[in-house]
Amino acid sequence: MALESKICGVSDRAAIEAAARGGASWIGLVFFPPSPRAVTPEQAEALAAATPAGLGRAGLFVDPDDALLERVLARVPLELLQLHGSEAPRRVAEIRARFGRPVMKAIKVAQAEDLEAVEAYAPVVDRLLFDAKAPKSMAGALPGGNALSFDWRLLAGRRWPRPWMLSGGLKAETLAEAVATTGAAAVDVSSGVESAPGAKDPALIAAFLERARSL
C-alpha cells in the first residue's frame, strides 16, 4: 500500500500544484490566525477551487466555535476537519455530528502516558493524528507546526482502532526512519517542506513526496 501523504499549511497555488504533482493525498488549510500558515475563509475558497480532483482538502482548526466552522464550510468544501486544540471528546463528537464531516483529532505526544487519550477520542473520530507536544518552556509554541518530533518508538508495534497519521518535525531526510519505526501508513508534513515559517517550498514538497513514494 502506498504511503498516504498530507501537505499541511498550504497558502498558495504553487504549493497545491507541487502537492498534486508529487502524488499527495491531502492538502491542509489552516484556520488559526496566530499561525504563519493561516488563511482566511476567502483565501481558502480560492485555494480549494484550484485544488485538482483527487486531492483531499482538510481544514485545521484549534478549539473552533460553531460560528467559525459554519463560516468556513459555507465557502470551502472540506472533506476532513482536523481538530488540533484542546477539544474534549464530547466537543469532537458534537462537531462531527453537527457538520457531517469526517473528523481527525490530534493527539500531542511527549511521553507514553499521552497516548492514553486515544481511548477517549477513538469512538468519536474517523482518524487520529499523532504530533509532537511542545514543551512548556518553548516560547511562541503553536498547537502544531513547531518543527518538533517526538520519540517515534512510543508508537512502535502499537495498533489503534482508527486510521492514523504521523506528524511532527517530519522531512524527506527523516521520513524513512519515522515510517519504519512507527509503522505509519499516513504522514502529515508542514514545517519540513518550508523555506521559512509559512513559506511552502515546491522543491521541498517534491522531495518529500518522492521519498514517500519510495517507501
Q: Give the total number of structural domains in the chain.
A: 1
**pLDDT confidence of 126, banded at 50, 70, 90?**
very high
Range of the structural domain that residue 70 is part of: 4-214
Query: Do residues 148 and 169 touch, judged by C-beta distance below 8 A?
Result: yes
In the predicted model, is pLDDT for residue 162 greater than 80? yes
What b/e sequence results for 36-72 when a residue is b if at least 16 CB atoms lie within 10 Å of its CB, and e otherwise?
ebbbebeebbebbeebeeebbbbbbbbebeeeebeeb
Instruction: Using a pLDDT cut of 90, give the percent of the chain over it.
Output: 90
Other Cβ atoms closer than 10 A to 167:
31
Q: What is the mean pLDDT of the chain?
A: 94
What DSSP state is assigned to residue 25? S
In the predicted model, is pLDDT for residue 23 greater than 80? yes
- Confidence (pLDDT) at 135: 61
- Confidence (pLDDT) at 142: 58
How many whole angstroms from its chain centre is CA 39?
15
CATH number, domain containing residue 191: 3.20.20.70
Mean pLDDT confidence for 182-204: 96
- Confidence (pLDDT) at 2: 80
Mean pLDDT confidence for 91-95: 98
**pLDDT confidence of 180, banded at 50, 70, 90?**
very high
Query: Do residues 78 and 68 touch, judged by C-beta distance below 8 A?
Result: no
pTM summary value: 0.93
In the predicted model, is pLDDT for residue 127 greater than 70? yes
Lowest-confidence pick of 6-20, 59-73, 108-122, 138-152: 138-152
